Amino acid sequence: MNKKTLIFLIILSLFEFSHPALSFKAATVHPLPGVVDLRILETTDLHASLVNYDYYQTRVDNRIGLVKTATLIKKARKEVQNSLLFDDGDHLKGNPLGEYLARIRGIRKGKLHPVYRAFNYLHYDAVAIGNHEFNYGLEFLNAAVKGAKMPVLNANVFSVKKKKPYFTPYVILKRKVVDQNGRKHHLKIGVIAFMPTQIMKWDKANLEGKVMAKPMVDTAKEFIPIMKSKGADIIVALAHTGISYGTYSAESENAVYYLSKIPGIDVILAGHSHNVFPSSVYKNSPDTNIETGQINGKPVVMAGAFGNHLGIIDLRLKKTNGQWGILKGTSFTRPIVNDAGTSLVKRDKRLYQLVNPEHQETVDFINKLGL
Ligand SMILES: [Zn+2]
């Protein structure tokens, strides 16, 4: 360092010390403009568990029920500025309420299925169709989803006649989000949904000749570039499929691990197998970090079943040169009861009122049968 430079640096340091306002400004860490925190919430495999009630034992069961998860949803939303809520499928069938509505009472014209009434009330941003949604036939399903105010998605089930996706394959949600500085931004969130191809075996009688299922990974590879070309800043996969680490096959029932390797898919909401991810079950699994909740570096969450957990993914996004990138993505779940079975949340009163008519009809029906 020459003499001139040294004198310059000394003068500069004196200047900093003698001007506290100036040095203060340089030292303060401001939230970064263009950095957006986005929370993504998941329910999955509700199986018509709207109320915290066991219809077989005819008694309250606090380990299940969307009326409980709803309280967690509202709390999780309040903690952040930007959030989205999705259901990952298998929401219409799996308990006596679902059976009663599909096989006994039916969906009357202009009437809403209580599951979709609940989804509307909670303002879900989109929901996926699960394999069990086919169990009551396509006609019932089409009648039930009619009242849904949010997109109902699946990309890998195709109409045989029309040779195109039977449902809406994906959507690009346009949302205003607020960055850490309070500045508003427009974000385009691509949402696509998949389910196991095994539906063709499981629901052969309902589906044969009407629809066919394409492999999930192939379908993702086909649609992701299209969604990107249509301006999706990030892509969320509502993957109604579990996590397995075996050798890949096009017919793999649990395809999350393989989907996580596809470029362009940023976030995976998993389901179908009723497990909880992240959890210690996956501790020694390859390319899996149960601390951050990532598989192959992508945040993944699976929220158990029957509303027993809420899945949460916290993303930190940053816009650079007009392009959004993900700085950080972590996932975790919150349960409605602790390990001892003690309730951690009260039920959402308004939601309980909204679904109570069909709940009560189901209870009355069971009583009449003398079960
Ligand atoms: Zn399923």
**Interval 287-304: pLDDT, tens:** 999 999 999 999 999 999
Instruction: Give 4's pLDDT tier (boundaries 50, 70, 90).
Output: low
Predicted local distance difference test score (pLDDT) of residue 109:
64
Tell me the pTM: 0.90
Per-residue pLDDT band at 105 (split at 50, 70, 90): confident
Q: Is 14 a member of any domain?
A: no
Each residue of 249-283: pLDDT tens digit? 999 999 999 999 999 999 999 999 999 999 999 99
The sign of the CA dihedral 232, 188, 133, 57 is positive
Over its C-alpha atoms, the chain yields an Rg (Å, rounded) of: 24
CA distance 242 to 271: 5
- Cβ-based neighbours of 112, under 8 Å, separated by 6 or more: 120, 147
Ligand 1 centroid, distance to 272 Cα (angstroms): 4
Q: What is the pLDDT of residue 107?
A: 78
CB–CB of 80/36 below 8 Å?
no
Collect all residues with Cβ–Cβ distance below 8 Å to 249 and sequence separation of at least 6. Answer: none
Q: How many domains does the chain have?
A: 1
pLDDT over 90 (residue 332): yes
Residue 161 lies in a domain: yes
Do the domain assignments include residue 170? Answer: yes
CATH number of the domain enclosing 299:
3.60.21.10
Is 72 part of any domain?
Answer: yes
pLDDT for 3 equals: 54
pLDDT tens-digit series, residues 178-226: 999 999 999 999 999 999 999 989 999 999 999 999 999 999 999 999 9
54 is a domain residue: yes
Look at residue 16 in the predicted model and tell me its pLDDT: 42
32 alpha carbon to ligand 1 midpoint, in Å?
Answer: 41
Domain boundaries, position 163: 31-369
Distance (angstroms) between ligand 1 centre and the Cα of 134 equals 10
Backbone angles phi, psi at 24, to 5 degrees: -60, -45
DSSP-derived pairing of the beta strands 59-60 and 53-54: antiparallel
Q: What is the pLDDT of residues 335-351, one digit of tens each?
A: 999 999 999 999 999 99
C-alpha 133 – ligand 1 centre gap (Å): 9
Position 210 in a domain: yes
pLDDT for the residue 30: 63
| 279 falls within a domain | yes
Query: Is residue 3 in some structural domain?
Result: no
Query: In this structure, which amino acid lies at residue 185?
Result: H
